[in-house]
Amino acid sequence: MVEGHSLEKVLSAGGLTSSSNSSSRSSIPLTFDVPHQHKTNTKRFQNILTSDGVQQEEIEAGWNGKQDDVVVEQAQQNHQQPDNEDVDEVVTTQRMFRKLSTGSDDMQKVYSHAQLSSTAHGVRLLSKNLSNTKVALEVKKLMIVTKKQDDSLIYLTREMVEWILVNYLTIDVYVDAGFEKNESFNAKELCKDSRCGSHKIKYWSPEFVKDHEDFFDLIITLGGDGTVLYVSSIFQKNVPPVMSFALGSLGFLTNFQFEDFKYALSKILQNKIKTKMRMRLSCQLFRKRIKKVDEEARTTHIKYTLDGTYQVLNELTIDRGPSPFISMLELYGDGSLLTVAQADGLIIASPTGSTAYSLSAGGSLVYPSVNAIAVTPICPHTLSFRPIILPDSMTLKVKVPKASRSTAWAAFDGKNRVEMKKGDYIVITASPYSFPTLEARSTEFIDSISRTLNWNVRESQKSFTHMLSRKNQQKYEIHTGQARRCSEEELLVDPSDDSSSDSDDCSNE
């Protein structure tokens, strides 16, 4: 186990973290609990890790360089002796990240397909380690987002706030600014009942969130999936861990039950937790601008300007809007034209959004931890235009071509609907700002689709023996009993043993 930012410091010391993720949130001391891989798995990549001249003995020792000193120093701060296996894993992981970092000259030293295969396997193991990592949160500033349209949720919010203030004296609770003068919430009476100062209850607004990045340690949502999407819309960059309670109609994203909120919150605040780092999509809208260069020669220069950037958790939808014509949209992947979509529109969905609009349009279910981009047409003109799942490493572009009969309309998670004119386009990539949700149980995704969609629910096949007479029922039971005994004996008998007479008796029967 690597305590107190040691893994993060080791990675950042080598300049390995991206610019979007390199700024750590100082208000949350994190403890990473990374499962160990077997030593044989680590040694499989050492031919890659040592291709830049690093000696094999250095990796096995794990005590060279400034990165190793960080591990030792952190272990001394925690009054613990550093474990050689822990340091081995951290240093090996650090060097692998350096080797796999974008633009690294070290990757040019990989000459064979065997080395590429080993590196790809190493990436998969690193991804598995990250998905199994547990994080310990030290919550000081807690934000509660409540569905405003339901008055009964105000009293549920009040009950939760009172319990937190009584049991966790070091936590400041931030509620919606609309509750400040709300008679049902009654913050003054709440502070009096919980015997705490009025300063323990504070208020947030979208403007406050925008001006205070990396401020909150934990977010609790009381509502449905729409409440979770609202959190994604106001946190356009780094998002604190989100704990969502199911108080809506569907519940794909809300996996905690409010009836058990005292037990669930105590477990989250006192133990290490797993989070699902849900991939978001970064959508950049570019507008076509025409700048005249020479009127006499009638030549023009086409210029595109960035009109807005949106981080979406569910999907980007581009449709024909109020136009009576079907939309014509050019879909590009890494600069190459993939297809021209003639349909009512296109849905570009994240794995989280695969159970939303994309599913209704015939798209596939995608597990939340799978990094992929789902492209689903809306009522295509050709029946052969089927949904497709693309890798998250691909850069997509959807453009309204000059030949289109009408404009198109784009919506980002169902909000900020804008019109796209001819020549305008949107670039879609995997966002560097993921959306972390706390995991209630390991099977929560399967449970949610089984509960909400009745996924693969059908009646089991029935036996018709109940329609037999008593005499035939007895004969049937004797026959099935003999067949069962023979099958069990066949598993125990050696096929090379010719002296087996029991098997012959079964076959004769």
Digit-coded pLDDT (tens) for 171-198? 999 999 999 888 889 888 988 888 887 7
Tell me how far CA of residue 414 lies from CA of 229, 312, 375, 400, 410, in angstroms: 10, 9, 16, 20, 9
Residue 481 pLDDT more than 60? yes
Residue 500 pLDDT more than 70? no
Residue 329 pLDDT more than 70? yes
Residue 81 pLDDT more than 70? no
- Residues 193, 165: Cα–Cα separation, whole Å: 10
pLDDT of residue 106: 53
Contact 206, 415 (CB under 8 A): no
- Residues 92, 87: Cα–Cα separation, whole Å: 8
Q: Which two tokens stand for residue 473?
A: 């029922």
Active-site annotation holder among 68, 225, 319, 344:
225
pLDDT of residue 97: 59
Residue 200 pLDDT more than 70? yes
The winner for highest mean pLDDT among 109-118, 339-348, 497-506 is 339-348
Q: What is the pTM of this model?
A: 0.73
**DSSP single-letter state for residue 168:** -
Tell me how far CA of residue 16 lies from CA of 13, 33, 237, in angstroms: 7, 20, 20
Crossing angle for the helix pair 113-131 and 84-100, to the nearest 10 degrees: 120
pLDDT of residue 123: 83
pLDDT of residue 497: 56
Q: Provide φ and ψ at 408, rounded to 5°.
A: -130, 165
Task: Name the percent of the chain lying above pLDDT 70.
Answer: 73
- Residues 17, 94: Cα–Cα separation, whole Å: 10
Contact 273, 438 (CB under 8 A): yes
Q: pLDDT tier at 495 (50, 70, 90 boundaries)?
A: low
- Residues 197, 308: Cα–Cα separation, whole Å: 42
In CATH terms, the superfamily for domain 141-278 is Probable inorganic polyphosphate/atp-NAD kinase; domain 1 (3.40.50.10330)
393 by DSSP, 3-state: which? coil
The identity of residue 299, as a single letter, is T
- Respond yes or no: is residue 225 known to be catalytic: yes
Contact 423, 400 (CB under 8 A): yes
Domain boundaries, the chain: 6-135, 141-278, 281-433
**Average pLDDT, whole number, for the chain?**
79
| More confident: 234 or 466 | 234
Residue 383 pLDDT more than 50? yes
pLDDT of residue 41: 45
Q: pLDDT tier at 317 (50, 70, 90 boundaries)?
A: very high
pLDDT of residue 100: 55
Residue 425 pLDDT more than 90? yes
Q: Provide φ and ψ at 145, rounded to 5°.
A: -110, 120
Residue 161 pLDDT more than 70? yes
Q: Which two tokens stand for residue 245?
A: 């309670």
Q: pLDDT tier at 87 (50, 70, 90 boundaries)?
A: low
Q: pLDDT tier at 287 (50, 70, 90 boundaries)?
A: very high
- Residues 255, 247: Cα–Cα separation, whole Å: 10
Residue 423 pLDDT more than 80? yes
User: For residue 307, what are the contacts with CB-CB under 8 A and spacing of at least 6?
Assistant: 285, 286, 287, 418
| More confident: 458 or 57 | 458
Q: Which two tokens stand for residue 487?
A: 């099958």
345 by DSSP, 3-state: which? strand
Digit-coded pLDDT (tens) for 207-247? 999 999 899 999 999 999 999 999 999 999 999 999 999 98
Residue 424 pLDDT more than 70? yes
- Residues 259, 252: Cα–Cα separation, whole Å: 18
In CATH, the architecture of 281-433 is Sandwich (2.60)
Q: pLDDT tier at 83 (50, 70, 90 boundaries)?
A: low
Q: Which two tokens stand for residue 261?
A: 């909120």
Region 71-86 average pLDDT: 47
Contact 327, 344 (CB under 8 A): yes
Residue 339 pLDDT more than 90? yes
Residue 60 pLDDT more than 80? no
Q: Provide φ and ψ at 79, rounded to 5°.
A: 60, 40
Length of the chain, please?
509
Contact 336, 330 (CB under 8 A): no
